[in-house]
């Protein structure tokens, strides 16, 4: 079962400036040609990339660093993920008018995804009922989504404070941390199938390196199951085996 299994540590370098950068499990971009002599015999070395094929990963990384080369690994990417902020308190119901092309969704703390809010007509004006403290996503027609924190105005209306997708989702996961049960994961072939949730962009980008979408979830093989579990743990999520 995937679970955090190592202490976190500061990343050894920034990805863009590293001599070697791990793009996918055991597949590296090599920016510093002087490192190539250490890589020989450890895997497949192409013009700009290296694929590790031996079992000596930890020893190879240690030798590279001992020789002054900076290596940015997938472990470093996990360690660099942001932590959860303090959660916003959930307040009273508030209402907000919407037009015909406006679609509002809120972050559901149990489903861990955006759930549409139905608009109702009140005296000829469509409106939605929200809660102060909610994180919402708004779309107008086919335009790009925008994200907001909801607050209660003195009039009882819903005020909106603009934010970005990462902040909105991180705040949503912070609220969900103490309210939802553990997530169920399933053994799947030579790895695991993790739930495909609405992840913040940094976490989603990293899961795209670690896993592949399959059968309605993220498939991770056993080599990186622990790391994928750490990505979820960064969001306050506990994984349990079915």
Whole-number pLDDT of residue 141: 83
Percent of the chain at pLDDT exceeding 90: 74
Rounded mean pLDDT, 12-30: 86
Q: DSSP 3-state assignment of 17?
A: helix
* pLDDT at 3 > cutoff 70: no
Confidence of residue 23 (pLDDT cuts 50, 70, 90): very high
Asked whether the CA dihedral 225, 214, 183, 169 is positive or negative, the reply is positive
pLDDT tens digits, 29-82? 999 999 999 999 899 999 899 999 998 899 999 999 999 999 999 999 999 999
Alpha-helical regions (H) of 14-99 = 36-39, 57-66, 74-79
pLDDT at 188: 85
pLDDT tens-digit series, residues 138-156: 999 888 999 999 999 998 8
Containing H/E element for 219? strand 217-221
Q: Would you say 63 and 40 are in contact if contact means Cβ atoms under 8 Å apart? A: no
- As a whole number, mean pLDDT of residues 108-125 equals 92
Least confident span in 5-19, 82-96, 122-136, 222-236: 5-19
Give per-residue pLDDT as tens, 168-208: 999 999 999 987 888 988 888 889 999 889 999 999 999 99
Asked whether residue 14 carries a pLDDT value surpassing 70, the answer given is no
Give the integer Cα–Cα distance in Å for 238 and 1: 11
Q: What is the pLDDT, as a whole number, of residue 219? A: 93
Task: State yes or no: pLDDT of 10 exceeds 90.
Answer: no
pTM: 0.88
Q: How many helices (H) and strands (E) does the chain have?
A: 6, 18
**79: DSSP letter:** H
């Amino acid at each position: 079962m995937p679970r955090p299994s190592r202490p976190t540590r500061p990343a050894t370098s920034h990805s863009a400036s590293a001599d070697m950068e791990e793009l996918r499990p055991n597949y590296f971009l090599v920016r510093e040609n002087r490192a190539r002599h250490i890589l020989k015999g450890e895997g497949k070395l192409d013009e700009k990339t290296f694929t590790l094929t031996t079992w000596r990963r930890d020893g190879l990384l240690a030798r590279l660093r001992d020789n002054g080369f900076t290596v940015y690994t997938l472990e470093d990417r996990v360690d660099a993920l942001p932590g959860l902020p303090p959660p916003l308190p959930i307040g009273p119901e508030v209402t907000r008018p919407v037009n015909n092309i406006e679609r509002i969704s809120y972050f559901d703390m149990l489903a861990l995804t955006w759930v549409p809010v139905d608009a109702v007509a009140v005296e000829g004006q469509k409106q939605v009922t929200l809660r102060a403290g909610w994180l919402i996503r708004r779309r107008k027609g086919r335009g790009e989504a925008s994200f907001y924190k909801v607050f209660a105005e003195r009039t009882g209306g819903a005020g909106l404070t603009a934010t970005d997708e990462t902040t909105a989702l991180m705040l949503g996961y912070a609220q969900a941390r103490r309210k939802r049960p553990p997530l169920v994961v399933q053994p799947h072939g030579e790895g695991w199938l993790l739930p495909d949730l609405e992840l913040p962009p940094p976490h989603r980008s990293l899961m795209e390196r670690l896993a592949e979408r399959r059968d309605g979830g993220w498939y991770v093989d056993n080599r990186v199951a622990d790391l994928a579990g750490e990505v979820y743990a960064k969001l306050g999520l506990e994984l349990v085996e079915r």
